[in-house]
């Protein structure tokens, strides 16, 4: 079953603009993670936020988590052409993720030069 659902499904913006993607999930979590996937490649881990954290930064990435609304957002600031990719949120099934993560269907982000 797919726990996380990203919104929007696709997003096209101009280079230099900020991109915001949202993720909603259904059950309690220990942590939530965001991954990037370039076309035809494996996923790359971007950032992990724990259930007791509300916001986390990593370079141009900012992730928020609202456990009361069961939602998270990923903000990419000052977008670049190289940010064009699909972005997935993932939640742990149980026990922190050792028994697998559940992924959403992803947001396809296109950065127009």
Site size toward another protein (CB under 8 A) is 25
Among 14-22, 58-66, 73-81, 90-98, the segment contacting another protein (CB under 8 A) = 90-98
Find all residues with CB under 8 Å of 94, minimum gap 6, and list them: none
Of residues 21, 23, 25, 33, which one binds another protein by CB under 8 A?
33
List binders of another protein among 58-77 (CB under 8 A): none
Smallest gap from residue 91 Cβ to another protein (A) = 11
Helix (H) or strand (E) holding 44: strand 43-50
* Rounded least distance, CB 16 to another protein, Å: 28
What gap in Å lies between CA 83 and CA 79, rounded to an integer?
6
The answer to whether residue 100 forms part of the interface with another protein (CB under 8 A) is yes
Q: Rounded to 5 degrees, what angle do the CA atoms 34, 37, 43 make?
A: 70
Positive or negative: CA dihedral 100, 27, 30, 91:
positive
List the one residue from 88, 91, 109, 111 that touches another protein (CB under 8 A).
Answer: 88
Residues that bind another protein (CB under 8 A): 1-2, 4, 33, 35, 40-45, 48, 88, 90, 93, 97-106
């Amino acid at each position: 079953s797919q726990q996380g659902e990203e919104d929007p499904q696709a997003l096209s913006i101009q280079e230099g603009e900020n991109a915001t993607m949202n993720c909603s999930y259904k059950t309690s979590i220990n942590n939530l993670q965001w991954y990037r996937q370039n076309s035809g490649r494996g996923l790359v881990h971007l950032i992990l936020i724990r259930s007791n954290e509300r916001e986390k930064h990593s370079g141009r990435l900012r992730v928020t988590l609202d456990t009361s609304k069961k939602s998270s957002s990923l903000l990419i600031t000052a977008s670049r052409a190289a940010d064009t990719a699909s972005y997935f949120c993932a939640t742990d099934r149980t026990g922190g993720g050792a028994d697998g993560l559940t992924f959403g269907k992803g947001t396809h982000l296109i950065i127009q030069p």
